[in-house]
């Protein structure tokens, strides 16, 4: 009966949101400017979790700030779950994932699945109408590549590709040994590189089942790839995929994350005594592709292992994917720019460098945007990290605080135990801010703030 009531509440809230969206889509309007689009995108990403948190708080009877952290972790595909089964610092008991209704588990998975493709892109695909600039909204959410000639067609194609891989992933995971319900939900949160699980122990619930380990990482790896590469795989354009710089780098870094984890396990007695080699490799690869599934808790892991995962996750996956982090393409552009500029010093003034990545010439705008995102990430990482350490280092180890802040900002989803109901409210707010900033890669928030200030000035 309780399950039916919860499912009914979730369904009713979804219907209300859809109806409101349809009504708003019929309101008169014109073409959106870049500032309008960025402001709408940021406002959407801030407001939707607020509504979802109110619903979760009411259904599970947990403090609002805890519900907000959980729903923000869902929408931003971070996967830092606060549902650990303990008392909240705000008062009241927060249940574990194993204790919540099945309908809430499915809802959490759906939050991450929609958040992965992008709330705004999903809206562009199905609700955008003539007179609304789909391009402005599409770009404002960080989607710059096209799969089709028009932006709306690209958004629809993205959603189709996403759905096909979700279904394929569910089949692969199911055949590996998961129950059908678990397989569907783990596929939804794997392809979105999000990491919510139907069990408190995450994939560790299937302890020692290496087929499940492999299948969940495979689907998560696909989620870290560019939608362009995924589309090319669907169209059997495998040559294009193999020539893709991002595909090769992500595959290489995935292998590197496994090898580095194995090396740490072999060298570090703390890791050898507390973790199996399989668990060590799984969590490291999961951290790099920012999915956040785990087969063992990181609370007893060594500092060197935690820092390895944090560094890999901060790199992240493809720029046109569901993955978090700075993105490999941006780092490749930054490194290529460094190489070009240092080489230029040693060459005559007539030297014209081949500023190419994967046969594609880098424009000044591409370089500037990539460097801006990298600088923004570094700045926010330092500010949030220092603030959290300054306020809470008497309660948690410094490395653990830095890890969880990085996990939030890069949308990794793994935790050292800092993210929990017992955490101080201020620390929860820092983690929430990190997840929201990281999901849109920071710059849109700065643009939206400037747009708001300029709009206010124009009216006064």
pLDDT in tens, 144-181: 566 765 667 777 888 899 999 999 999 999 999 999 99
Grouping H, G, I as helix, E, B as strand and the rest as coil, residue 360 is strand
Is 205 a domain residue? no
- Residue 256's pLDDT is 97
Is 93 a domain residue? no
- Residue 132's pLDDT is 46
- Residue 353's pLDDT is 74
Give how far Cα 429 sits from Cα of 61, 65, 307, 380, 448, Å.
20, 8, 23, 14, 20
pLDDT tens digits, one per residue of 295-316:
999 999 999 999 999 999 999 9
Is 397 a domain residue? yes
What angle, rounded to 10 degrees, do the helices at 303-315 and 245-267 form? 180
Is 274 a domain residue? no
Is 403 a domain residue? yes
Segment among 13-27, 84-98, 327-341, 344-358 with least mean pLDDT: 13-27
| Strand pairing report for 93-96 and 356-357 | unpaired
Is 377 a domain residue? yes
Out of 122-126, 146-150, 240-244, 388-392, the most confident range is 388-392
58 pLDDT exceeds 50?
yes
Residue from 330, 325, 294 nearest 310 by CA = 325
Is 164 a domain residue? no
Rounded distance between C-alpha atoms, residue 378 and residue 381, angstroms: 5
- Residue 129's pLDDT is 47
433: CATH: 1.10.287
Is 447 a domain residue? yes
Range of the domain at 375: 365-459
Query: How many domains are contained in the chain?
Result: 1
- Residue 348's pLDDT is 80
Total number of residues shown for the chain: 460
The pTM of this model reads 0.91
Residue from 191, 142, 141 nearest 163 by CA = 191
Structure token pair of residue 164: 């096909």
Q: Angle 300-298-390 (CA atoms, 0-180°, nearest 5)?
A: 90
CA dihedral (317, 321, 326, 330) positive or negative: positive
């Amino acid at each position: 009966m309780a399950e039916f009531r919860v499912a009914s509440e979730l369904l009713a809230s979804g219907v209300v949101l859809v109806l409101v969206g349809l009504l708003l889509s019929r309101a008169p309007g014109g073409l959106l400017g870049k500032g309008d689009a960025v402001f709408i995108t940021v406002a959407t990403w801030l407001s939707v979790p607020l509504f979802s948190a109110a619903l979760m708080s009411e259904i599970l009877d947990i403090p609002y700030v805890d519900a907000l952290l959980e729903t923000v972790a869902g929408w931003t595909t971070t996967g830092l779950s606060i549902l650990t089964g303990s008392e909240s610092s705000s008062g009241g008991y927060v249940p574990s994932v194993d204790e919540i209704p099945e309908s809430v588990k499915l809802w959490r998975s759906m939050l991450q699945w929609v958040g992965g493709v992008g709330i705004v892109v999903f809206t562009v695909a199905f609700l955008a109408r003539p007179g609304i600039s789909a391009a402005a909204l599409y770009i404002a959410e960080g989607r710059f590549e096209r799969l089709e000639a028009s932006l709306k067609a690209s958004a629809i194609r993205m959603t189709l590709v996403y759905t096909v891989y979700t279904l394929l992933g569910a089949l692969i995971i199911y055949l590996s040994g998961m129950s059908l319900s678990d397989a569907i939900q783990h596929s939804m949160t794997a392809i979105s590189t999000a990491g919510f699980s139907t069990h408190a122990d995450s994939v560790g619930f299937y302890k020692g089942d290496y087929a499940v380990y492999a299948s969940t990482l495979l689907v998560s790896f696909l989620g870290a790839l560019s939608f362009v590469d995924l589309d090319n795989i669907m169209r059997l354009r495998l040559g294009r995929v193999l020539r893709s710089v991002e595909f090769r780098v992500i595959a290489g870094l995935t292998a590197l994350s496994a090898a580095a984890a194995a090396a740490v396990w072999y060298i570090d007695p703390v890791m050898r005594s507390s973790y199996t080699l399989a668990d060590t490799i799984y969590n490291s690869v999961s951290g790099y592709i920012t999915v956040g599934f785990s087969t063992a808790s990181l609370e007893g892991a060594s500092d060197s292992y935690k820092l390895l995962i944090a560094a890999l996750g901060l790199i992240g996956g493809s720029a046109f994917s569901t993955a978090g982090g700075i993105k490999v393409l941006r780092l490749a552009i930054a490194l290529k720019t460094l190489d070009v500029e240092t080489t230029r010093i040693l060459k005559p003034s007539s030297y014209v460098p081949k500023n190419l990545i994967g046969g594609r010439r880098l424009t000044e705008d591409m370089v500037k945007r990539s460097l801006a995102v990298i600088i923004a990430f570094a700045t926010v990482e330092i500010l949030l990290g220092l603030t959290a350490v300054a306020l809470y280092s008497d309660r948690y180890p410094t490395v653990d605080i830095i890890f969880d802040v990085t996990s939030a900002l890069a949308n990794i989803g793994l935790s050292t135990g800092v993210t929990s109901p017992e955490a101080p409210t201020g620390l929860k707010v820092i983690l929430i801010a990190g997840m929201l900033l990281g999901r849109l890669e920071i710059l849109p928030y700065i643009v939206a703030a400037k747009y708001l200030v300029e709009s206010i000035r124009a009216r006064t």
